[in-house]
Each structure stands twice: as C-alpha cells, then as structure tokens.
Structure 1
Amino acid sequence: MPGHDGPSLSTFFTLRRYRTEDEDAAISLWQRTWQEAYPSIDFAARVKWWRERWRNELVPNAAIIVAEQAGALIGFVTIDASGYLDQLVVAAGHWGSELAESLVDEAKRLSPGGITLLVNTDNARAIRFYERNGFLHAGEDVNPTSGRPVLKMKWTG
C-alpha cells in the first residue's frame, strides 16, 4: 500500500512451545535451511538420522520454541537445561530479519544463567549473528558427528 510505513509482513510471526504435531514441519525446515547453507551436502540422506535425533535427544531434553507465520513453521530454537543451544533454524526467506534474534532472545529468557553453542567455523553469517547478540568466542572444537571444525560460543547473561 502506498505510503505504508508499518512493519513488513515478515515482521508478523508468533512464538510458541513446540507440539508433537510440529515434527514433520520442523524436520522439513531443518533440511531446507541446512541445504541452503551447505548446498554440497545431501541433507535428504540425513533426514532419517535427524528424525531419530530429534525424537530421542532434542524433544525429551530441550525446550523447543517454534516461530509461526500464517500457519507455517518458519523457525525454531532448542535450549536444554544446561543452557546448550543445539539448534537455531530460520527459514532462508527470513535470514537477516528479526526472527532469529527473537528466537535467541527467547532462549536467553529460558536460560538466563548463560548459553553455550557450537557453530561451524565456515558459517560466517551465523558467527556474525551470534557476535551481534552478545556471544563471545570460547574456543574451538570439532563436531563429533560431521567432523567439521566448530567454534564454541558463549553468552553469559
């Protein structure tokens, strides 16, 4: 609409707790966003493994907050009782929007004593995002699943 100065449509989303019926949408979103970030890796081949990990590790042990827009799941964050943020997933169409920051803010609210995470060292976009959101570099490691080098990052509250 001409002259409209309000927030863009991408601004309108809601955050809520994960529900079992969100599983397929969450796994599909995970696959699509990681495929976009790492086009040379076949994430379709990893869906079975990811679904088992989702059901057996993340759902029972982490708070999962999802973001919805117009009835579609567009992002999620997982944070466990120790403050470990395992997954921050945002639909590629929302990269650079306030969605990821809103999800991280929710993780901070759920874990006010601090958050730790691992991010692939070749994911410069994610590293810059976490730095802007108050995370500091806390060492380097290797992802035990992928064998890729990762950066440990920490937010101390």
Structure 2
Amino acid sequence: MTTIRPSRPDEGARVIEIWRAAVDATHDFLTPEDRQAIDAMVCGFLPNAPLWIAADDSDYPVAFMLLDEGHMEALFVDPAHRGTGVGAALVRHAIALHPTLTTDVNEQNAQAVGFYERMGFRRTGRSEVDGQGRPYPLIHLKYLD
C-alpha cells in the first residue's frame, strides 16, 4: 500500500538518492557536465522543497513529486519501484488537487512522455531548450481527461 504524504525535513538525503537513481536510469541523454551541474542545483534546493512523498508500507520514501500551484515541476521514482504504480498514485493525487494539471517532460525521455500520455495528459507545445536553456527539448503537457 502506497501512502501519499508531505515530505518531512529529515528526508532530504533520501529524496536526493531517489532523484539521482531515477535520473541515472532515465536521463542517459544528459552530458556528464550537465548531469553534474544539474545535480549541484538540485542538491541546493530539493531537500528543503515542499514535496509530496510516496511511501511504502514502512513509511520509507520511494518516489516524490514537486508541485507549484497547478504545475508539476518534478516526479521521480526510485528505479526499484518503477512499474508498481507509485508514480501514477502521485499523479492522481496532483490531479485531485489541480484538475487542469500541467507538466513538462524531456522529449528524449520517451518512457516519461508515454507515461504521462497514458495518464491522460495531452501535448500542448514544445520548447527547444529546458528551463535552464540547455539543449534538451521539453514537451509541454496538460491533463485533459
């Protein structure tokens, strides 16, 4: 049984572990230099960000999501828990809070694009670069079901 709950201050290190493992498993398109720069940026803000946690039966975080109003800024799942429904549970939670939820996903991450489309998101646009101006195109998505 997955529990969705707000993050706690003592979970910063675990959130970074999840982020790193998930990025290493899904973002092979990043250059080593960009991966390192993004890691430094993420370590600077993610541990203190107001996250939603998906926790397992023992209350151990296995995935997290960052929402900013009606926009999902981040959704990362520990690779050991991919395919178990924790990502979908987080997305359903976000949609319950924000019925017209939007998100952006790296175009090179085809698995993530497919996941969001299966969840009911539709493409609303595309950007040539990511939010930091790096050459990783983004697909803009909005929940429309």
Aligned equivalent of 2:66, options 70, 78, 86: 78
Within-5 A mapping of 1:34-53: 34-39=23-28, 41=30, 42=32, 43=35, 46-53=38-45
Structure 1 stretches lacking a partner, 5+ long: 1-11
Structure 2 counterpart SS, 1:75: strand
Matching residue of 2:116: 130
- TM-score scaled by length of structure 1: 0.79
Matching residue of 2:143: 155
Structure 2 stretches lacking a partner, 5+ long: none
Structure 2 counterpart SS, 1:96: coil
Letter of the 1:20 partner, please give it.
P
Contact 1:78 1:107 in 2 (8 A): no
Considering only CA atoms, is the larger Rg found in Structure 1 or Structure 2?
1
CA RMSD of aligned residues (A): 2.0
Q: d(CA) in 1 for partners of 2:71 and 2:29?
A: 27
Q: d(CA) in 2 for partners of 1:44 and 1:15?
A: 30
- Once the two structures are overlaid, the 10-residue window that deviates more, 14-23 or 99-108, is 14-23
- Once the two structures are overlaid, the 10-residue window that deviates more, 72-81 or 31-40, is 31-40
- TM-score scaled by length of structure 2: 0.84
Matching residue of 2:87: 100
Q: CA deviation at 1:48?
A: 2.6
Matching residue of 1:27: 16
Q: d(CA) in 2 for partners of 1:118 and 1:155?
A: 11
Matching residue of 1:143: 130
Matching residue of 1:6: none
Letter of the 2:51 partner, please give it.
I
The aligned length equals 139
Q: Could you give the per-residue CA deviations for residues 100-151 of structure 1, whole angstroms, max 9, x where no partner exists?
A: 1101001111212x11111111111111111111100001012032320110
Contact 1:31 1:44 in 2 (8 A): no
